Amino acid sequence: MRTEERERLIREKGQKIGEKKKEIQIICDNLKKGRSPEEIADFLCKDLKEIQDICRIAEAFAPEYHIENIYRELRLANITEEETFM
């Protein structure tokens, strides 16, 4: 694999991880406001099952909602798309 391609893949991996963490942050912000998974899924135009999975794991970290810990647990539960890059 060429160096440029490897660097591009690493960048893409980092961007996807960052996007997922941002999504988790937005979901947690909505949970703090008392919104239900259904409301959050509708607001974000996302699949309800995906939002429910994230909310279920995030609740274990309430009320602080540590994003890094939630992301790690999602990866361990094989819920995120990024685990294939790890």
Q: How far is 24 from 33, CA to CA, in rounded Å?
A: 14
When the pLDDT of each residue in the chain is averaged and rounded to a whole number, the result is: 91
At 29, is the pLDDT very low, low, confident or very high (cuts 50, 70, 90)? Answer: very high
Global pTM?
Answer: 0.83
Residue 77 backbone dihedrals phi, psi, to 5 degrees: -85, 0
Q: How far is CA 40 from the centre of its chain?
A: 13
| Neighbouring C-beta atoms of residue 24, cutoff 10 Å | 20
Does the structure show a pLDDT above 80 at 81? no
Burial (Cβ within 10 Å: 0-12, 13-18, ≥19) of residue 41? buried
* Average pLDDT for 71-82: 80
* Average pLDDT for 36-46: 97
End-to-end CA gap in the chain: 17
Q: How far is 52 from 44, CA to CA, in rounded Å?
A: 13
